[in-house]
Amino acid sequence: GGTDTATVTITINGLNDSPLASDDSLVTTPDDPTSINILSDTTGTHFDGDSDGTPGGAYDFWFVANDSSNTLYVDKTNSTSGSGTLNNPYSTIAGALNNITSSTQVIRILGNGGTDGDLR
């Protein structure tokens, strides 16, 4: 296998806006396990990670990229002959970096630990 070197520039145009925060409180007694739901959207609706109708839960999901035609996908469980699409992602980040064709492409890493559980 050959090697290649490339330079990747990532630009983030951040905003200097104030964080959104709200007060929450909870009173409990010693040895009384309890929890508080603090994740909510901009309307105040609490997030329901596992869609069971109760706020909270396991948040095990990912977002669809805004423009899949401009996104290269990486999933280490795929074969080494991936093409970078969602249905046939690259198996390594290096594979995606070596195939960038424009400075506006997005590399999306799918958080799949594979059989070994290692996310690297």
88 contact partners, CB below 8 Å, separation of at least 6: 78, 82
Same domain, 105 and 85: yes
pLDDT band for 1, please (50, 70, 90 cuts).
Answer: low
Position 70 confidence tier, pLDDT thresholds 50, 70, 90 = confident
Give how many domains the chain has, as a whole number: 2
Confidence band of 33 (pLDDT split at 50, 70, 90): confident
pTM: 0.41
Residue 71 sits at the vertex; the CA angle it makes with 66 and 76, to the nearest 5 degrees, is 120
Region of 86 (left: φ > 0; alpha: ψ -120 to 50; beta: rest) is alpha
State the residue range of the domain holding 41.
36-62
pLDDT tens-place string over residues 77-112? 887 678 888 888 888 888 888 888 877 677 777 766
Residues 82 and 102 in one domain: yes
Asked whether residue 87 is domain-assigned, the answer is yes
